[in-house]
């Protein structure tokens, strides 16, 4: 047995990670235990040792604990879904800003490649107007996770759907298509050990990382209503190439781009022309 203050010597976790672990696994407030100068009992030590051994093998804490935070939501995750990233929160913010400015009373959104359902849920929770959100993914096991998250937040305006890209949809039905597609180059994927625990299906996008992005640019216009918008996350080094792809589109025009927290152009907004 040892005291809470000695946790830092024993484990490779920061204070905020320990707070997260203690509240998730033991429903305990570590700050209180610390102030009370408490001992950590053996059953907790055994579980902490297990968490630390997985973590030192490179397994992200989110997969170990089975949960991740996104836009103030607590989401269930497992290895079937990508761990939601902060840059995707920026995209959600931009979609919400757009909806507020347009003050649409009703709108239809496609969240293409929904994963854990993070984007759909953040939009459903924040959008004031009446939204119909279709959350599609080719991965059945990812959709199972998304469905758990939708049920947890009692969302009744989100419709999960297993589909390959746009194969399930009719023309001109969406006001918004929002997507964080797979966009990692195959060579980078081999060199990035920190991605090895996440699903390949969520990451790999061919030699130049643009396989999905090209398909989305060539097809999204068909499924957007006139003046409908595509919000798409892209890789840190892809903006110029994606803009060139958009210049060749007959149905979409680039409206604006947004940057991530490191100053890289990461969010593309395009509009259906006619
Ligand atoms: C980068 S992840 C994004 C997940 C989630 N939206 C997020 O922002 O964290 C891409 C998602 O696209 C899905 N996907 C891959 N290929 C697809 C396809 N052909 N059709 C539909 N979804 C696909 C993957 O299963 C994965 O969940």
Tens-place pLDDT, residues 166-179: 999 999 999 999 99
HSE-up of residue 274 (Cα within 13 Å, Cβ side): 2
Q: Give the model's pLDDT for residue 98.
A: 94
Q: Give the model's pLDDT for residue 148.
A: 97
> Mean pLDDT, to the nearest integer, of 118-132?
87
Q: Angle at which helices 140-152 and 118-126 pack, to 10 degrees? A: 30
Kindly give, in sequence order, each residue whose CB lies less than 8 Å from that of residue 156, ignoring residues fewer than 6 positions away.
Answer: none
Confidence of residue 128 (pLDDT cuts 50, 70, 90): low
Give 3-state DSSP helix, strand, coil % of the chain, rounded to 5: 45, 25, 35
Residue 60 · residue 67 · CB < 8 Å: no
Whether the per-residue pLDDT at 32 is higher than 70: the answer is: yes
Residues with CB under 6 A from ligand 1: 82, 84, 88, 113-115, 118-119, 136-139, 142, 164-165, 180-182, 201-202
Q: Which atom of ligand 1 is nearest the CA belonging to 116?
A: 5
Query: Length of the chain in residues, anyone?
Result: 274
Q: Give the model's pLDDT for residue 1.
A: 76
Q: Give the model's pLDDT for residue 208.
A: 96
User: Mean pLDDT of all residues in the chain?
Assistant: 94
Residue 225 · residue 175 · CB < 8 Å: yes
Closest alpha carbon to 4 in 63, 28, 106: 28
> Mean pLDDT, to the nearest integer, of 35-57?
93
The alpha carbon of 36 and the centre of ligand 1 are apart by a number of angstroms equal to 45
Residue 52 · residue 46 · CB < 8 Å: no
Percent of the chain with pLDDT over 90: 83
Query: In Å, how far are 36, 52, 155 from 5, measured between CA atoms?
Result: 10, 17, 41
The alpha carbon of 201 and the centre of ligand 1 are apart by a number of angstroms equal to 7
Q: Give the model's pLDDT for residue 224.
A: 98
Q: Lowest-confidence range among 98-102, 256-260, 261-265? A: 98-102
Percent of the chain with pLDDT over 70: 99
Per-residue pLDDT tens over the stretch 177-187: 999 999 999 99
The alpha carbon of 182 and the centre of ligand 1 are apart by a number of angstroms equal to 6
> Mean pLDDT, to the nearest integer, of 188-203?
90
**Which protein residue's CA is at the shortest distance from atom 10 of ligand 1?**
202
Query: In Å, how far are 75, 106, 134, 182, 214 from 147, measured between CA atoms?
Result: 11, 23, 12, 21, 28
Kindly give, in sequence order, each residue whose CB lies less than 8 Å from that of residue 270, ignoring residues fewer than 6 positions away.
Answer: 217, 220, 229, 230, 232, 246, 249, 252, 253, 254, 255
The alpha carbon of 128 and the centre of ligand 1 are apart by a number of angstroms equal to 26
Q: Which atom of ligand 1 is nearest the CA belonging to 203?
A: 1
The alpha carbon of 231 and the centre of ligand 1 are apart by a number of angstroms equal to 14
Q: Where are the alpha helices (DSSP H) in the chain?
A: 7-10, 15-26, 30-35, 42-56, 61-65, 86-102, 118-126, 140-152, 186-191, 211-223, 239-247
Residue 252 · residue 217 · CB < 8 Å: yes
Q: How far apart are CA 228 and CA 178, in angstroms?
A: 11
Per-residue pLDDT tens over the stretch 49-105: 999 999 999 999 999 999 999 999 999 999 999 999 999 999 999 999 999 888 777
Whether the per-residue pLDDT at 245 is higher than 90: the answer is: yes
More confident residue, 5 or 265: 265
Per-residue pLDDT tens over the stretch 198-244: 999 999 999 999 999 999 999 999 999 999 999 999 999 999 999 99
The alpha carbon of 215 and the centre of ligand 1 are apart by a number of angstroms equal to 13
Ligand 1 pocket test, candidate residues 182, 215, 216, most atoms within 8 A of CB: 182
Q: Which atom of ligand 1 is nearest the CA belonging to 83?
A: 9
Q: How far apart are CA 199 and CA 197, in angstroms?
A: 7
> Which 3 state secondary structure label does DSSP give 156?
coil
Ligand 1 pocket test, candidate residues 117, 138, 168, most atoms within 8 A of CB: 138
Confidence of residue 9 (pLDDT cuts 50, 70, 90): confident
Question: 69 pairs with which residues across the strands?
Answer: 74
Q: Give the model's pLDDT for residue 247.
A: 97
Whether the per-residue pLDDT at 129 is higher than 80: the answer is: no
**Which protein residue's CA is at the shortest distance from atom 11 of ligand 1?**
113
Count CB neighbours of 44 within 10 A: 18
């Amino acid at each position: 047995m040892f005291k809470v203050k000695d946790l830092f010597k024993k484990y490779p976790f920061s204070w905020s990670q320990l707070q997260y672990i203690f509240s998730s696994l033991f429903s305990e407030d570590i700050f209180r235990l610390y102030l009370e100068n408490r001992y950590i009992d053996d059953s907790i030590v055994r579980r902490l040792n297990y968490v630390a051994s997985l973590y030192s093998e490179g397994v992200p804490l989110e997969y170990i604990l089975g949960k991740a935070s996104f836009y103030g939501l607590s989401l269930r995750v497992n290895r079937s879904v990508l761990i939601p990233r902060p840059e995707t929160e920026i995209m959600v913010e931009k979609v919400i800003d757009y909806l507020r400015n347009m003050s649409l009373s009703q709108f239809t959104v496609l969240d293409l490649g929904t994963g854990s359902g993070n984007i759909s849920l953040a939009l459903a929770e924040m959008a004031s107007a009446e939204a119909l959100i279709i959350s599609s993914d080719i991965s059945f096991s990812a959709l199972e996770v998304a469905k758990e998250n939708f049920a947890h937040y009692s969302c009744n305006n989100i419709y999960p759907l297993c589909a390959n890209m746009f194969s399930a949809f009719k023309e001109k039905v969406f006001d918004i298509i929002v997507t964080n597609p797979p966009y990692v180059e195959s060579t980078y994927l081999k060199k990035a050990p920190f991605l090895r625990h996440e699903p390949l299906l969520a990451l790999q996008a061919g030699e130049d990382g643009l396989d999905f992005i090209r398909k989305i640019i060539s097809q999204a216009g068909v499924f957007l209503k006139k003046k409908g918008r595509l919000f798409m996350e892209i890789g840190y080094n892809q903006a110029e190439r994606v803009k060139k792809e958009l210049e060749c589109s007959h149905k979409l025009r680039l409206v604006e781009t947004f940057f991530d927290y490191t100053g890289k152009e990461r969010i593309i907004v395009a509009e259906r022309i006619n």
